[in-house]
Chain A
């Protein structure tokens, strides 16, 4: 496994049950904080129409795309309902010194 841990943001920059955008190396990611204070990361663009998921709505384990309301489980990346059919890539996340790190491939 790669050791490519990248600092994404301060942990308190994300509100509970919310998401922010994180750009790195010409790619865009979405960093989530769940209602029970866990952190997750996925690709930042919806697999349906390349829309930034960080503008969407986090509800329980779901991120809903702001353009067509497609839904993913942001913890597993699973596409949950049309129009999204392709799963979202997820990335390992860790917290250190109050900061969120994402392990990129």
Chain B
């Protein structure tokens, strides 16, 4: 069976509009306004605490890597540094992009720009891309952030773990923007009023990306390349990809109910620090106004209306790998998580062949 066309300028984009997927009402769990207001309240405290810890860990692991450079002892330090740089930057980019991490706007903006550079996501392009992802989550032809296509390209997904395709592709896009051009797909979700900003920031990012190479040449050492730019993203992206795949992979496309296309997975506190609670992904998609630090509380409220959360990332990946292998033969097959009796039924959807979630 041929792969669907995931581009935003192909026939699927038009089909999504014709099917009413771009104008439909998304399912929302009923939560009283008073309770919702409490959940949406902003606070600087948790994100300031987490950000101080974040920078402290960068210094700790970075200093350890520097001290032990030239010995095998530097490996665990750079392994942790890489995860901070190439994986935890994903959640900081995400949460600050929504503007929900801090109450103070400029704090969100500063961390958003730092994290965007780390994860090589141009801040203006990806702000708009993520906006579209929330408007048309996993709608083929509309959502620019679908990672696992059908059938999934397993080799490409494997390469994501090491940024082997993502980093060069990001540099290529930056070069295109630095030359004052936008791609056809980008023009579908970034308003023209923002393009100049895209070009300027791309030039700045490219210049900063050149800096570690210049420093490496100047000092005659690989060490500067380990700390910022392309390399730490590549050696540190793996955990972010491992987490990121749990968000939507193997689940339904072209539905208007986030309980069918998103996944909530329980994680340990260390993972949740790295991921800033994005493991509560159904909750986040239904209520993107709720800050990361309030998501566990939102989860507890929504639990009766949610499919059974996955008990661990391993359990989630067991299902994802199973689904991806099955989708190699039948790309229409998808996981349909079972709802508890307390939940409202799934919003009627357009998927023809949704199979029940395999028993544990």
Contacts and interface: CB of A to CB of B under 8 A. Distances in A.
A6 B319 CA distance: 56
Given A82-B127, A83-B127, A83-B128, A69 B194 contact: no
A81 B106 CA distance: 12
Contact of A18 (B37, B131, B194, B288): B37
Interface string B25-50: 00000000000110011100000000
A18 B36 CA distance: 12
Given A69-B98, A81-B99, A57 B131 contact: no
Contacts of A67: 134-135, 288
A82 B40 contact: no
A85 B99 CA distance: 16
Given A18-B37, A57-B37, A82-B194, A66 B288 contact: yes
B193 interface: yes
B184 interface: no
B128 A82 contact: yes
Interface residues of B, number: 21
A83 B131 CA distance: 7
A59 interface: yes
B124 to A, nearest CB: 8
Given A57-B289, A81-B99, A68 B131 contact: yes
B271 to A, nearest CB: 25
Contacts of B42: 57, 59
B100 interface: yes
Contacts of A64: 99, 289
Q: Is the contact region of chain B dominated by helix, strand, or loop, or is it mixed?
A: helix
Contacts of B105: 81
A81 B105 CA distance: 10
Q: Is the contact region of chain A dominated by helix, strand, or loop, or is it mixed?
A: loop
A56 interface: yes
A68 B194 CA distance: 17
B191 interface: yes
Interface string A59-84: 10000101111010000000001110
Contacts of B191: 85
Contacts of A66: 287-289
Contacts of B40: 57
Interface residues of A, number: 16
B317 to A, nearest CB: 30
A38 interface: no
A83 B193 CA distance: 11
A10 to B, nearest CB: 16
Contacts of B98: 69
Nearest to B135: A49
B156 to A, nearest CB: 29
A71 B193 CA distance: 17
A15 to B, nearest CB: 8
B104 to A, nearest CB: 11
Contacts of B100: 69
Contacts of A69: 98-100, 288-289
B37 A68 contact: no
A57 B40 CA distance: 7
B288 A68 contact: yes
Interface string B118-130: 0000000001100
B56 to A, nearest CB: 28
Given A57-B40, A82-B128, 7 more contacts: A18-B37, A49-B135, A57-B41, A57-B289, A59-B42, A67-B135, A82-B127
7 contacts: A55-B36, A56-B289, A67-B134, A81-B99, A82-B127, A82-B194, A85-B193
